[in-house]
Amino acid sequence: MEITARAGLERSTFDGEPTWVLTHPDGARLVVAETGATVLSWQAPGADGQLVELLDGYASAAELAEEDGYRNALLVPWSNRIRDARYRFAGVSHDLGPARDGSREALHGLVTGVRFARAQMSVRDSDLAVRLVASVAPDEHEGYPYSLDVAVSYALGVGSEGESRLGLELTATNTGDAPAPVTLGWHPYLRLPGHDTVDGLELTVPARSRVVTDESKIPPAGEAAFAGETTPVRFAPLGSSVLDQAFTDLVPDDDGVVATVLRSPRTGESLTVEQEPFQARVVHVFTGDTLRRAPRASVAVEPCGLLTDAFNRADSAEALTLAPGEQRQLVSDIVYRHG
């Protein structure tokens, strides 16, 4: 597909929040907030050619600031939780301190409230992409005395069979002079047209194991964290299932990617989250039951590099450590097929 003058990148605002709006020549539209480089909206042509909303983003700047549900957030330099907001790395103990609400969950990293700057727009074949950059400095975050450069590229594209794609390429570079603990994740909330709740949707996760957790949603040490599953794990339909569950021991498809599928049996439409198994060893699924607005209207399907509390896990130590000058990357695509 030839990129036309219709496509492009525009500066805009959302409820007073500065945004970037990326438009593909097929009409697909992506809105990204400066804060956290958080996707607020992804619209793509549906079966009738009209644009449909495929991600459940924040509805206001106040919601974005509150971070309820971490809707479509980038998770850097960790995903999910760190037990009691404390960890030990390279023989040194660190305390991340309490969250704004006083809890000590240490949820979802350090960049959700950071302002990202645009670096560039790029065109490649049928893809149109925007790249945003930010940094993590040792004096900005209690308990994380490391320096990182963070870059994210979002790409809109169309596949060979007409499917719409939203691509993510998230990169963290250790710019300090000592090893740093780094693992990456993404927290997109998927929604399908014509479904007010997720109850009637089918979910398929290509995993051989689920992650066992305690009442604090922290997995135990070692092999006790894993329980076997028959692959693929299927919920057909989701019905009243309440999920805040991680899966691992992921099974790639014939193309070598892990594909988690949310599908409407009524319309045949589907959203597939693809992740590279060597980059993202975990997929976390959340049915949004505790969201303050619109609970169970969408399903979060989260590609994550490592398990919850990886900063405190001996079995994650090697994969967690990022040497000075090295990069860590997470690549994921969401693919929309409209029957």
**pLDDT tens-digit profile of 160-186?**
888 999 999 999 999 999 999 999 999
Three-state DSSP state, 61: helix
Q: Which amino acid is at 113?
A: G
For the beta carbon of residue 227, count every other beta carbon within 10 angstroms.
Answer: 9
Lowest-confidence segment of 87-101, 208-222, 249-263 by average pLDDT: 87-101
Torsion of CA 167, 157, 23, 335, to 10 degrees: -60
Please state, in angstroms and rounded to a whole number, the distance separating the CA atoms of residues 138 and 120: 26
Portion of the chain with pLDDT greater than 70, in percent: 98
b/e string for 52-89 if b means 16 or more Cβ within 10 A?
bbbbbbbeebebbeebebbbbbbbbbbbbbbbebbbeb
Q: How big is the CA angle at 186 (ends 200 and 262), to the nearest 5 degrees?
A: 20
Give pLDDT, residue 3: 40
Is pLDDT above 90 for 191?
yes
pLDDT tens digits, one per residue of 73-110: 999 999 999 999 999 999 999 999 887 777 778 899 99
Is pLDDT above 70 for 6?
no
Matching residue, tokens 């599953």: 229
Tokens of 147: 């320096």
For the beta carbon of residue 318, count every other beta carbon within 10 angstroms.
Answer: 7
Q: Are 280 and 330 in contact (CB under 8 A)?
A: yes
Portion of the chain with pLDDT greater than 90, in percent: 88
Torsion of CA 125, 115, 77, 72, to 10 degrees: -60
pLDDT tens digits, one per residue of 293-332: 999 999 999 999 999 999 999 999 999 999 999 999 999 9
Q: Which amino acid is at 15?
A: D
Q: How confident is the model at residue 117 (pLDDT cuts 50, 70, 90)?
A: very high
In 3D space, the residue among 61, 11, 54 whose CA is nearest the CA of residue 38 turns out to be 61
Task: Say what the pTM is.
Answer: 0.96
H or E stretch at 154:
strand 148-158
Is pLDDT above 50 for 2?
no
Q: How confident is the model at residue 132 (pLDDT cuts 50, 70, 90)?
A: very high
**Strand duo 73-75 + 207-211: pairing:** unpaired
H or E stretch at 127:
strand 127-136
Q: Which positions ≥6 away from 314 have C-beta within 8 Å?
A: 221, 222
Mean pLDDT, to the nearest integer, of 157-161? Answer: 90
Matching residue, tokens 């695509």: 333
End-to-end CA distance of the chain: 21
Give pLDDT, residue 190: 98
Q: What does each C-alpha distance from 196 to 187, 199, 264 come to in angstroms?
A: 20, 9, 12
Give the chain's mean pLDDT. Answer: 94
